[in-house]
Amino acid sequence: MLKEKVLICLSGGIDSSLAALFLKEEGYDLIGVTFRTWDYISEGCWEKQKGCCSIDSIMEAKNFAKKIGIPHHVLDLREHFKNTVISEFVSEYLVGRTPNPCVRCNAETKWGEVIKLADDLGCKYVSTGHYAQVRKENDRYVLSRGADESKDQSYFLWMLTQENLARTIFPLGKWIKSDIKKQAASRGLVKLAEKRESQEICFIPENNYRDFLKEQVPDIDKNIGEGNFISTEGKILGKHKGFPYYTIGQRKGLGIALGEPRFVVAINPLKNEIILGSYEDLVSHNLSISKINLIKYSEIKANQKVEIKIRFRTPPIAASLLPEGDFIVITTQESMHAVAPGQSAVFYEGNDVVGGGIIM
């Protein structure tokens, strides 16, 4: 007898494909879905989009679903994606902040819209190939790191609500990526095991967000244009191409030679100024976050001890939390480097995600 219905998100890649196989082998009644979020167009011509959600990936997912004998749906979310993820991505850069589109996509698309489809199809659960884990504890659903530290994706999932997590299955949470590749090969899925994985933002195949901004906002250079590089002492150092093209911590590609390394330490969008300073000028011990989502606990206590990550690839560091109304002030003893407004700060207790927020 089949278990409950599960809507499995298939990208055409190895992780979601193996997640589907594991669920099928456990007896779940599976339905596959692949979402179409973006058409990459440049200079009037269609270009082959890399990563998830491309036409090739959609067809690979559909063929895989047919191969393992499950129904498959393609969910056209291009308009939704444009009005949420893309819109926020562009607007954040236009106010001098650095967005994290993958976090918003997970909350708005991979769970928000997919759960709506799950309801329409009578599916109790949704599932993905993320390397993360979820469990129920003390009447709350707790998100925790995947067993493979190098592949753990819990950082990108901090926006998931209790309602989202209650309906989520992560089949790969306890697996190591190298073992997943072996599992694929042992099942005859050699091409999947050898398939190169994209590390880029799905709608920016060449990883050049500056060109993307120009495509989305054709008059960006006319309306913003050149501005001044400013030293931390207020001295004009030279000209830059426009504040949206720079991010906190950036050193390369500034287009200015000062005889010693200089980094973007602040962005002033009102004056179209980029402030340059030393590496030491990027060091801080506190930050504030807004748009908070709590996962492990329903509230945060004053001076609660956690570990925080301010980027996906940086290791967590010890911190304390101080709630202040709709915000949380985070203080660390160990120094943080290049804290960028708009990015996500995610706080952990051991392997569990306590919650997260957007850096102010």
130 and 79 belong to one structural domain: yes
What average pLDDT does this structure show over 79-107? Answer: 97
Q: Indicate if 9 belongs to the active site.
A: no
Give the structural domain span for 305. Answer: 283-359
Q: What is the pLDDT of residues 33-76, one digit of tens each?
A: 999 998 755 444 344 444 456 788 899 999 999 999 999 999 99
CA distance 208 to 93: 13
295 and 168 belong to one structural domain: no
Q: Edge-to-edge strand order for the sheet containing 168-169?
A: 72-76, 29-36, 5-9, 125-127, 168-169
Q: Indicate if 202 belongs to the active site.
A: yes
- CATH number for the domain that contains residue 323: 2.40.30.10
Mark which of 277, 295, 325 sits at the end of a domain: 277
246 and 318 belong to one structural domain: no
Task: Say how many domains are in the chain.
Answer: 3
Q: Which of 52, 53, 123, 202 is catalytic?
A: 202
> pLDDT at position 197, please?
73
CA distance 356 to 175: 25
CA distance 48 to 50: 6
330 and 268 belong to one structural domain: no
Query: What H or E segment, with its residue span, contains residue 332?
Result: strand 327-337
Residue 7 pLDDT level (bands cut at 50, 70, 90): very high
CA distance 330 to 332: 7
Residue 198 pLDDT level (bands cut at 50, 70, 90): low
Q: Which of 52, 102, 105, 123 is catalytic?
A: 105
- Indicate whether 332 belongs to any domain: yes
What average pLDDT does this structure show over 298-306? Answer: 96
- CATH number for the domain that contains residue 255: 2.30.30.280
- Indicate whether 47 belongs to any domain: yes
CA distance 30 to 295: 27
> pLDDT at position 40, please?
55
In order, the DSSP letters of 90-150 are HHHHTTT----HHHHHIIIIIIIIHHHHHHHHT-SEEE---SEEEEEETTEEEEEE-S-TT
